[in-house]
């Protein structure tokens, strides 16, 4: 798979390099009020691509901020974690202390596959 990825990258580089070599002639980009810009075709295409990428990223910024704010608010509104269940006594029932409350130490089992405050790990990439 890794060799296929590098083959794809090499092919893409070769195609872009061939495109740049085939479009070295100077083009005239005409603006308003008689302004014009002369540059090689490759630079014009690169500039338009960069402007398109920048416009796309900038148009996504408000949405990213809104989603981050919503996630932060959801995290702040989450209730406090409930203490673990009390440990069972000898007969299988929960131990009761002298003051009438359920006894036992609130703890998590030691065999958790990942920390409780972290998301479960994703499947490893093959």
In a domain, residue 6? The reply is: no
Q: Round the average pLDDT of the chain to a whole number and report it.
A: 77
Does residue 29 have a pLDDT over 70?
A: yes
Question: Which pLDDT belongs to residue 7?
Answer: 94
Query: End-to-end alpha-carbon separation of the chain, Å?
Result: 9
In a domain, residue 118? The reply is: no
In a domain, residue 7? The reply is: no
Does residue 62 have a pLDDT over 90?
A: yes
Give the domain extent around 66: 29-80
- CB within 8 A of 107, min separation 6: which ones? 84
pTM passes above 0.75: no
Torsions phi, psi of 68, nearest 5? -65, -40
In a domain, residue 37? The reply is: yes
What CA–CA distance (Å, rounded) separates 75 from 77? Answer: 5
In a domain, residue 92? The reply is: no
What CA–CA distance (Å, rounded) separates 56 from 70? Answer: 22
**How many independent structural domains does the chain possess?**
1
Lowest mean per-residue pLDDT among 14-23, 62-71, 87-96? 87-96
Angle made by CA atoms 86, 88, 93, in degrees to the nearest 5: 110
In a domain, residue 119? The reply is: no
In a domain, residue 3? The reply is: no
């Amino acid at each position: 798979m890794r060799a296929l990825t590098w083959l794809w990258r090499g092919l893409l580089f070769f195609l872009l390099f061939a495109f740049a070599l085939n479009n070295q002639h100077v083009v005239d980009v005409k603006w308003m009020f008689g302004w014009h810009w002369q540059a090689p075709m490759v630079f014009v295409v690169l500039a338009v691509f960069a402007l398109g990428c920048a416009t796309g990223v900038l148009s996504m910024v408000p949405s990213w901020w809104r989603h981050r704010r919503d996630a932060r608010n959801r995290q702040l509104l989450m209730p406090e974690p409930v203490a673990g269940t009390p440990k069972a006594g000898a007969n299988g029932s929960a131990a009761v202390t002298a003051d009438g409350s359920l006894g036992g130490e609130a703890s998590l089992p030691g065999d958790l596959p990942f920390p409780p405050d972290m998301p479960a790990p994703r499947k490893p990439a093959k």
